Structure 1
Amino acid sequence: MIAFAYALIPVVMITALGWLLAQRNFLRPDGWRAIERLVYFIFFPALIINVLASASFDVAPWAMIIVLISAQFALAILGLLARRSDGGPRKGSIIQSNVRWNTFVGLSIASALFGEAGLALMAIAVAVLTPTANILSVLALTHFADLAEEKKPHVIMDMVRNPLIIGCGIGIALNLLGVAPSGIAEKTLDILGQATLALGLLVVGAAVDVDAFKRAGPATLIWSTARLLGLPLAALAAGLILNLPADGLAIVVIAAATPTASSGYILARQLGGDASLSANLIAVQTIFSILTMPALYALYLMTL
């Protein structure tokens, strides 16, 4: 548990630094968006390719994949059961919040706790959770919103073009072919990948809207609690049922325990969801996860 605290505290500090820099207008909003694009399209895929290409998996992590997807669908169904007052665009935003996760937080903690092996397993989680979250989010937001047909996104094409999915595909393919990057190629990917975690966490912090946290009402608190506890508990239960090895189970719990992704606000705004509710959910979960993540990791340790 002490190891987890050592892993979490730097994540919190760098995230808080990002928020402070944003509050002090260290960068203009378009500057933060530019950094986010660099991380998303260049640094993050480089990290994933380098890690997955040279990773050593004793057993193909199919059980871990099943656990993660099952937990996401369970939380999506929970969102569908939202009461009538949380219907329409609000329901789309609730479902999106329930199934999204913060990759930068998960990768940072996995790296600090388990090194390269943890990064490799968390990269697998990225490959599984990201497309599932995007598909469920887009379907939920568009279904419960009143959008013109021409505004509806092409979900499959968006998945094919997603840089994280492309990075995972390249990394896994190189691994299977036994041609992991070496020499200059490996060093280049390594340097690019090193920028991912710090810049990613700074962007997460810059996106935290404290005003949204102050606006949080009962629905925000209820659904934030459901997401922060429901997804990791569902994942932990499924992992125990499928007898996941300890390292795989730890990664599953860490990934699921992260707060919902800050990108959910932009998607909700674009696809007719309740953008205000999405902002509230992101802010509340990001702040409360500082407390819930250690508690859930402690619960995981008790199952060993």
Structure 2
Amino acid sequence: MINFIYALIPVILITGLGWLLAQRNFLPAEGWRAIERLVYFIFFPALIINVLASASFEIVPWTMVLALIGSQMALAILGLVAKRADDGPRKGSIIQSNVRWNTFVGLSIASALFGEPGLALMAIAVAVLTPVANVVSVLALTYFAEDSGSPKPHVMMDMIRNPLIIGCIVGIALNLLDIAPTGMAEKTLDILGEATLALGLLVVGAAVDLKAFNRAGPTTLIWSAVRLLGFPVAALAAGLLLNLAPDSLAIVVIAASTPTASSGYILARQLGGDATLSANLIAVQTVFSVLSMPAIYALYLLVRA
């Protein structure tokens, strides 16, 4: 447990630094968006390609994949069957919040706790959870959005162009073909990848709007608790049921216990979801995950003992 706290504290500090820099207008809003684009389109895919291409997997962790997707879909269904008072754009934002996760936080903690093997397993989680989250989020937001007459997005085309998914495919393909990057190629990917976690966490912090706490009503608090506790508990139960190896189970729990991704606000605004509710959910979950993640990890250690 001490190791987890040591891994979490730097994540909190760097995220807090991002928030402080944004509050002090260290960069204009356009600057933060530019950094986010660099991380999303260049640094993050480079990290994923390098890690997956050189990872040592004796067997494909299919049970880990099943645990991740199963628990993710359970949270999506829970949002879908919520009471009718949450129908409409609010429901779309709730479902999106339930299925999205913060990859930067997950990768940072996995790297600090387990090193390269942990990064490789967390990259598999990225390959699994990211496409499912995108498909479910887009479908939910567009289905429950108020009809504005604007054209619907092409989900499959967006998936094909997603740089994280492309990075996962390239990395896994290189691994299967046994042509992992070496020499200058490996060093280049190393340098690009090293920028991912720090810049990613700074961007996460810069996106946190603490004023959302003033707007947070019962809906925000209830669904934040559902997301922060329900997703990891479902993932832990699925992992135990499938008899996951300890390292795979830890990665599943860490990935599921991260707060929802800050990119959800932009998608909700673009696709007709309740953007204000999405912003509230992101802010509340990001802050309270500081408490919920250690609690969930302690539960994991308890049931694993």
Give the aligned partner of residue 177 of structure 1.
177
Give the aligned partner of residue 285 of structure 2.
285
Give a deviation string over 1:228-272, Cα, whole Å, max 9, x none: 001000000000000000000000000000000000000000000
Give a deviation string over 1:173-229, Cα, whole Å, max 9, x none: 000000000000000000000000000000000000000122100110000000000
What is the root-mean-square deviation of aligned Cα atoms in Å?
Answer: 0.8
Contact 1:98 1:231 in 2 (8 A): yes
Give the aligned partner of residue 243 of structure 2.
243
The structural deviation recorded for 1:163 is 0.2
User: What is the correspondence of 1:1-304 to structure 2 with a 5 Å cutoff?
Assistant: 1-148=1-148, 150-304=150-304
Find the residue that maps to 2:153 and give its secondary structure.
Answer: coil
Q: What residue identity is the alignment partner of 1:214?
A: N
How far, CA to CA, are the matches of 2:17 and 2:221 in structure 1? 25
Find the residue that maps to 2:58 and give its secondary structure.
Answer: coil
How far, CA to CA, are the matches of 1:69 and 1:147 in structure 2? 30
Contact 1:53 1:174 in 2 (8 A): yes
How far, CA to CA, are the matches of 1:36 and 1:63 in structure 2? 32
Segments of 4+ in structure 1 off by > 2 A? 146-151
Q: What residue identity is the alignment partner of 1:298?
A: A
Find the residue that maps to 1:53 and give its secondary structure.
Answer: helix
The structural deviation recorded for 1:297 is 0.5
How far, CA to CA, are the matches of 1:148 and 1:21 in structure 2? 37
Contact 1:147 1:271 in 2 (8 A): no
Q: What residue identity is the alignment partner of 2:265?
A: Y
How far, CA to CA, are the matches of 2:138 and 2:112 in structure 1? 32
Q: What residue identity is the alignment partner of 2:177?
A: L
Q: Say which is worse superposed, 168-177 or 143-152, in terms of deviation.
A: 143-152
Find the residue that maps to 2:294 and give its secondary structure.
Answer: helix
Name stretches of at least 5 consecutive residues in structure 2 with no aligned partner. none
Counting aligned pairs with the same residue, the percent is: 79
Q: Say which is worse superposed, 74-83 or 107-116, in terms of deviation.
A: 74-83
The structural deviation recorded for 1:149 is 5.8
Give a deviation string over 1:114-157, Cα, whole Å, max 9, x none: 00000000000000000000000000000001235652110001
Name stretches of at least 5 consecutive residues in structure 1 with no aligned partner. none
Q: What residue identity is the alignment partner of 1:164?
A: L
How far, CA to CA, are the matches of 2:295 and 2:8 in structure 1? 12
How far, CA to CA, are the matches of 1:297 and 1:71 in structure 2? 16
How far, CA to CA, are the matches of 1:149 and 1:124 in structure 2? 38
How many equivalent residue pairs?
304
How far, CA to CA, are the matches of 1:248 and 1:212 in structure 2? 35
How far, CA to CA, are the matches of 2:72 and 2:41 in structure 1? 25
Query: What TM-score, normalized by structure 1, do the two folds share?
Result: 0.99
Give a deviation string over 1:35-61, Cα, whole Å, max 9, x none: 000000000000000000000012211
